[in-house]
Amino acid sequence: MFQNSGLSLEQAPPIVVVLRFFITGSIFGVIASIMLFFIGADIANFSLPQTIALTHLFTLGVMGSFMFGALYQMLPVLCGVHIKGADLLALRVNYIFIFGITALVAAFFTNAIVLYIVATLFLAYAIFFTAFAMLGQLRKIQHNNSSRGMMLSLTALIVVAVLGITLLAIRGGLAIDIDYLWLKEMHYSFGLFGWVSLLIISVSFQVIEMFYVTPSFPKGYAKNLPIAIIALLFIDLFFSSLNPQIRSILQLLVVLLIAFHAGFILLRLKQKKRPVIDATILFWILGEGAFIAFAVALIATFYVTLPPLLLVVLFSFFPLSVIFAMSYKIVPFLVWFHLNAQGYFNAPMMHEVTPPSYAKRNFYIFLGAFVTAIIAVFLPVVWYLSALLLMIAFFMLFLNNYRAWHKYQEVLESGEKFSFT
């Protein structure tokens, strides 16, 4: 039955839930960028503990935090899912998640078994608890384009976590007869193409149309694309160990599907009815463009030798860019919406919460980080500059989100409220 009352105040989660995760994510972004600064050229060596730690700071710390925050907000709005006690649940998960990531990063650096165990317990709790709670609710609803993809993305996240825990157990000394490298590849594959990409795809089905007023994505396409991607990933998981040659074909297919959708998003943005080009559109264009470049580079590796780090850089800026795009749209809107819905006369308008010029400045710094990261693949000394720019970009995101939170509190404490009595 109809549950989709989304943005009505009683259904929307408290603003603090979203902001807490977004602020956490941007702080992890600053920390990860500082780490990148110190790792510098060594980033090309993927087996170094610091590189693995950095990868997890970006994936779990940044992407994971933003994903949790966005899902708590979007499940009620886009899918009609109501998560009971979202504020308390989110608070608990937020702290446990932060602690788990910190323990994991420390474990990679020290190789201490106790830290691996602590990280496993905390991260498993945060991820499984949230994913299963959300999946449990998602199972009950009548699906739309976004909700189906979100379900599959959360399923992929569970697979990523199970594979990750197995990898940690092996690192911690557990003897299992399993190909470690294959397991690691599956962990990456489900993480990047399953969890991260599927989430972006499913979110895009609704928000591109909603935020920029574009034609909608065809229904059959939106329904089947996430299913096709997850199906290919599972075929890869279950059958590629039998025939390793299938691997590259399956992965290429997955990448082509995601790249096709990236192109589709760019087309839709070109067809948008609204004339204004704000920073969030630029972030979407950069992110989707980065994925298309990643796909092209991947195909090129069949013919020429390219540094693997180039592929990593191109892929990484895809979700990171989308995170900025979503954050700069969602946060100012939520501040206005929550205050307005509570009857405050002086609820700040979106542009007062975060002036468009701030977001645009942030985009150019982020673009600088992207361009310099590509140059750094070939000229490693530039990593320092790229890391610095990325750190500034995340710090600006943090400041703007924090300012938004501060503005919200300010109105809450001193604002004039319309009385309903």
Partner 1 sequence: MDISQYLIAEHRECDVIFARAEKAAAEGDFTTTKDEFLKFADETLHHFKKEEEEFFPAFEAATGSAEGPTRVMKYEHEQVRGLLGKMAQAIESEDKDAYLSLAESLMILLQQHNMKEEQMLYAMADRLFPPNAKEELIEKMKKVAP
Q: Residues 6 or more apart from 121 whose CB is under 8 A from it?
A: 100
Output 101 or 350, the one with its CB closest to partner 1: 350
DSSP per-residue letters across 21-72: HHHHHHHHHHHHHHHHHHHGGGGG-TTSHHHHHHHHIIIIIIIIHHHHHHHH
Give exposure, 114-134, as e/b (b: 16+ Cβ within 10 Å): ebbebbbebbbbbbeebbebb
Output 78 or 255, the one with its CB closest to partner 1: 78
User: How far apart are CB 170 and partner 1 at their closest, in Å?
Assistant: 45
Output 354 or 386, the one with its CB closest to partner 1: 354
**In contact, 342 and 356? CB cutoff 8 Å:** no
Q: Residues 6 or more apart from 193 whose CB is under 8 A from it?
A: 229, 233, 251, 254, 255, 258
Output 120 or 137, the one with its CB closest to partner 1: 137
**In contact, 218 and 206? CB cutoff 8 Å:** no
User: How far apart are CB 21 and partner 1 at their closest, in Å?
Assistant: 20
User: How far apart are CB 209 and partner 1 at their closest, in Å?
Assistant: 7
User: How far apart are CB 147 and partner 1 at their closest, in Å?
Assistant: 10
DSSP per-residue letters across 336-354: HHHHHHTTBTTPPPHHHHS
Output 37 or 337, the one with its CB closest to partner 1: 337
Nearest to 373 by CA among 305, 293, 284: 293
Output 140 or 300, the one with its CB closest to partner 1: 140
User: How far apart are CB 272 and partner 1 at their closest, in Å?
Assistant: 8
Output 2 or 302, the one with its CB closest to partner 1: 2
By the criterion CB under 8 A, which residues form the site for partner 1? Answer: 2, 4-8, 11, 77-78, 80, 142, 144, 206, 209-211, 213, 273-276, 329, 332-333, 336-337, 340-341, 349-352
User: How far apart are CB 412 and partner 1 at their closest, in Å?
Assistant: 18
Helix axes 356-378, 383-414, angle to 10 degrees: 160
Compute the 3-state secondary structure of the chain and give helix, strand, coil in percent, each to the nearest 5: 80, 0, 20
User: How far apart are CB 263 and partner 1 at their closest, in Å?
Assistant: 23
User: How far apart are CB 419 and partner 1 at their closest, in Å?
Assistant: 16
Tokens found for residue 97? 């998640």
User: How far apart are CB 145 and partner 1 at their closest, in Å?
Assistant: 9
User: How far apart are CB 357 and partner 1 at their closest, in Å?
Assistant: 10
Place of tokens 């109809």: 2
**In contact, 362 and 397? CB cutoff 8 Å:** yes
DSSP per-residue letters across 143-157: P-HHHHHHHHHHHHH
Output 80 or 149, the one with its CB closest to partner 1: 80
CA angle, 18 then 19 then 24, to 5°: 105
Output 326 or 377, the one with its CB closest to partner 1: 326
Place of tokens 């087309």: 267
**In contact, 328 and 283? CB cutoff 8 Å:** yes
User: How far apart are CB 347 and partner 1 at their closest, in Å?
Assistant: 9
Helix axes 49-56, 86-110, angle to 10 degrees: 170
Output 8 or 248, the one with its CB closest to partner 1: 8
Output 86 or 255, the one with its CB closest to partner 1: 86
| Dihedral sign (CA 152, 77, 325, 335) | negative
Pairwise CA distance, residues 226 & 46, whole Å:
29
